[in-house]
Chains A and B, each alone.
Chain A
Amino acid sequence: MYFQDLLLTLQNHWAKLGCIVTQGYDLEVGAGTMAPSTFLHALGPEPWNVAYIQPSRRPADGRFGENPNRLFQHHQFQVLLKPAPKNVQELYLDSIKAFGIDPLEHDIRFVEDDWESPTLGASGLGWEVWCDGMEITQFTYFQKCGGYECKPVAAELTYGLERIAMYLQGVESVYDIEWVKGVKYREIFHENEVEMSKYALHESDAEQLEMLFKSYEAECKRLIVEKELPLPAYDFALKCSHAFNLLDARGAISVTDRAGYIKRVRDNAALCAEGYLKMRQKLGWPLCKTSWTVGEQLPMHEGKPASDMWKTFSFEKKEDKKEAPRG
């Protein structure tokens, strides 16, 4: 199966189930989770079912195109289902069958893997899905986003596309993946890897980046606090986060400063989350008025339609509970 067919198969699978298929976000993000389609839409009571391919940039993973497994930029296939369908595991398993992994021929397992993003104030519980010992998907039930409890809970599926493609095509290097017949990943992205790695690891201007970080941070705050424009503000939160990643990859952030930077990015994300929720509330949570769901859903929530949940939405934030000690 060509890389392109893998993308199309996944898109079709989730489209048929009722997801909207959108494009990956057009700003630099480190993961599909950071795109507004996941981070912002996981918040609040409204349903949201989406699938998109997100090119994800991780400056510190840049290897100049020399490492067969690590990339400056890889592709994630991101699915967010909210509320999480009751049969979400089955829907997921159908998707891997669709691209040719038969659970009777491979050892498919759901192995505990909880996820936390300190820069997003987000966390979730779930699994990494193994195929013969290889992680092919990150499967997460969102518990928290921007510091807010997720109600209802969304299920997030993140497929590592390059890995799956390497597996399906039986190649040892990401650069040997055939995108379409006769065209390899190398031809499309190798130079991108070389240049981006050179920039991120050697050539970036730390002073400039620091300045950008500060400007983006300030602009994010201004837009949210003074102008009540959470969507453009979030763009600047993302730029801020990428500037931080670039600084980090350059080794320009000391251990002691690191926590401070992360907190600044998280604070911005939290402001955007709050602004977004207020904006949706003002609009009357419009998607709650639709009957848009995917998969099997609990018909009612405590005797009321699930979409009534918004009436009780609370802006209160709960403290994180530490893992309970036993014995």
Chain B
Amino acid sequence: MAELLFELGAEELPARFVVPALDDIEKNFKEQCVALNIKHGAIRRFGTPRRVALLVSDVAEMTDDVTREVQGPSLKAAFEADGTTPKVPAIKFAESVKLPVDQLKRVTTPKGEYLVATVEEKGRRTFELLSDVLNLCTRKINFAKQMRWGDVEQTFGRPLQWIVALLGTEVIPVTFSDVKSGRVTRGHRFLSPAPITLAKPADYEGALEKANVIADIEKRRALMVERIAAAAQKAGGTVLQDDALVEQVVNLVEQPSPVVGTFEERHLDLPPEVLIQEMKSHQRYFTLTDAKGKVLPKFIAVSNTPVKDEKLSIKGYERVLRARLTDGRFFFDEDRRSPLVDRLPKLHRRSWIDRLGSMAEKTDRIRALSVWLANAAGKAASLSTIERAATLCKADLNTGMVGEFPELQGVMGREYALHDQEPKEVALAIFEHYLPRGAGDGLPTQDAGAIIGLGDRLDSLCGLFGIGKKPTGAKDDFALRRAAITFIRIVTARGYRFSLGAAIDESLKLLEGKLVDVKKKQGEAPVREQLLEFFRGRLESTWREAHRADVVEAVLATGFDDLVAAQLRLEAISAYVSRPDFAALAATFKRVANIVEKQAKDVTRAPVDPSKLTDDPEKVLHAEVAAVSSAVLALVTADDYSGAMAKVVPLKPFVDAFFDKVMVMAEDQSLRENRVRLLMEIGGLFGNVADFSKIQAES
């Protein structure tokens, strides 16, 4: 057993390349080891801007001896008619496995009789095998962007500078472009420029630490977060949490060295979002806040070098930020000189998606669709806010600030609307129509923003599907999956009742002029059907995260045109799933559903004829169904699906007794039809909740 170190050293890799490169190397290494039978122990990963490395413990120095059966030619081909005199194929095969012909076995397979040789393979030295493995690991890193350099043909994320490949104390030969593997690594570019010679893999982490490099990403992150927190505390503030920024910065430094800087207090009247964006987006500075979450005129920059005199570099960080804030202030002041309303004409010159017209046209559609949605969802009270906010919702795209920081769209719209003395609700709706922008965001808190957000997203969905740009496989350039999921979330969370199909129709109607010339692919469903199928897919995947697949299917089979009702039905059924008697319950009602489904085409829907009920169990069942049916329908109408379930579930023993004692498929057609109709009535009780034929009932 020996330890293996494999390090690829490069000119500064983009921060976002480091972890994916490690993933690739580790995956390829493991796969190759399995394929070549190389046993190994735990793998540790290291990564900094200048290196990616694996440290593998307990790598076997030899692969195990293995015995394999090798199949040769068929007996017919191998021997003369006498079955013993070998022909050429038998002799060749024997040679290839290095055995005399008479030591070959004969086996019978479904395809006939064949010669088989038992071959014993001696274990091989892994050292030679690992050379191939590591060569392959070096070549097969799927960087998001590959580059060439100098005269080199091969590509890598950035120019490769060195390779360390050590098995125990020996260097495994690995080559890439002009670089040959060795035992020499490098420390911190500036603090420890001397080459570092490694005697053995175990020395790696310690040697780098001495050379001012914390190579383990998790350790470095923990250390960085700890150092940042300490610096923040010393500066009398708290770091504004930003995990994405941490992930980025941790792979921009080898020795995280936070320093605290300040900016002029006069800039604090800029919206906090602007301040935060100015600090993080170009500069990757962390924002400091006070105990109440208010932004302080201070920041933390994480240097890669613990410099001789912090004051000097802090002055530098402050200068850059000062210039940026001055720029930001310039935009903020400049933007506020003309009201948002005056920026609307410019939206005509701003294209959204080529065939779908300008931003001005999109804005018009959003407004019309939002008005339709508000009316449909019974939120007409917000109409005036909605119309105004929808008109202005994209106006901030033409401001200097949003031009500089596209992330601030909506935020600036809100700020500028407030400055223009627009009603507060309008300003809020402009901001909220983008919510949620990401995982950390809540949903819109008011109807206006929520409904405009729905209109915006539905217009994008319908427009892009309409011109054939729907997502396929991993490709979803316009984030339409997220748009649909967010649409569903907002509708259900806010309890908006309207027909999804009708909303799609309305949106497509508004887009009509844009979609006329679109060529349809052969055999493609109409856009409306594609969209409904797409929504169905989103519901299915979202619901499956917390609900049983068959329950999801049962609810979807009953329809989802009213998204809120669909959600409530799902919850009602799911509440029963955990009950111990659910399986039995499901089995009974599934049986009802199956019979109804099968007979539906032969038996017309009609009321049960009480005079034709002959047996007691069916009479009893009919009475029980009649007793609850109007209550169940009332409960369903009132969206109380749990209540409806609670009324229907007690029917189970009567249904069971009916199935036990009564022949549904009676000889007499009128009796049979009457019994099926009785089951249809029960099915009808459920029909509005879920399709029980989809439920997987264990027997």
Contact = CB atoms under 8 A, between A and B. Distances in A.
A132 B12 CA distance: 17
B313 A89 contact: no
B250 interface: no
Interface residues of B, number: 58
Interface string B295-334: 0000001011101110011111101111100110010000
Contacts of B519: none
B308 A298 contact: no
Contact of B144 (A149, A297, A301, A324): A324
B252 interface: yes
A195 interface: no
Contact of A104 (B20, B149, B308, B474): B308
A194 B469 CA distance: 48
A255 interface: yes
A153 B156 CA distance: 14
B316 A133 contact: yes
A69 B328 CA distance: 13
A151 B177 CA distance: 15
A327 B319 contact: no
Contacts of B313: 105-107, 132
Contacts of A106: 305, 307, 312-313, 316
A133 B285 contact: yes
B142 A324 contact: yes
A297 B321 CA distance: 39
A301 B148 CA distance: 13
A8 interface: no
B151 interface: yes
Given A132-B316, A134-B320, A323 B145 contact: yes
Contacts of B151: 83, 151-153, 297-298, 301, 306, 309
A21 interface: no
A108 B253 CA distance: 11
Contacts of A105: 307-309, 312-313
A141 interface: yes
A201 B315 CA distance: 35
A35 to B, nearest CB: 22
Contacts of A301: 151
A118 interface: no
Contact of B145 (A111, A114, A327): A114
Nearest to B24: A326
B687 to A, nearest CB: 41
Nearest to A302: B153
A325 B142 CA distance: 10
B283 interface: yes
B387 to A, nearest CB: 27
Given A133-B283, A298-B150, A325 B475 contact: yes
A240 B350 CA distance: 25
Contact of A326 (B144, B149, B349): B144
Contacts of A325: 474-475
B291 to A, nearest CB: 27
Given A104-B305, A255-B351, A133 B317 contact: yes
A313 to B, nearest CB: 13
Interface in B469-505: 474-475
A133 B149 contact: no
A101 B326 CA distance: 25
Interface string B155-172: 000110000000000000
Contacts of B319: 132, 134, 167, 172
A327 B474 contact: yes
Contacts of A153: 147-152
A102 to B, nearest CB: 8
A304 to B, nearest CB: 10
Contacts of A84: 149-150, 159
Contact of B350 (A104, A143, A149, A255): A255
Contacts of B304: 107-109
Contact of A69 (B49, B152, B327): B327
Contacts of B191: 104
Contacts of A110: 11-12, 49
A234 to B, nearest CB: 25
A256 B253 CA distance: 42
Most buried by A among B252, B301, B307, B309: B307
A133 to B, nearest CB: 5
Contacts of A127: 12
A81 B568 CA distance: 67
Interface string A289-327: 000000001100110001001000000000001011111
Given A107-B317, A306-B151, A326-B20, 12 more contacts: A84-B150, A104-B307, A106-B307, A109-B252, A109-B253, A131-B316, A149-B148, A155-B149, A298-B178, A302-B153, A324-B143, A326-B144
Interface of A: 67-69, 83-86, 89, 103-112, 114, 125, 127, 131-134, 141, 143, 149-153, 155, 167, 172, 254-256, 297-298, 301-302, 306, 309, 321, 323-327
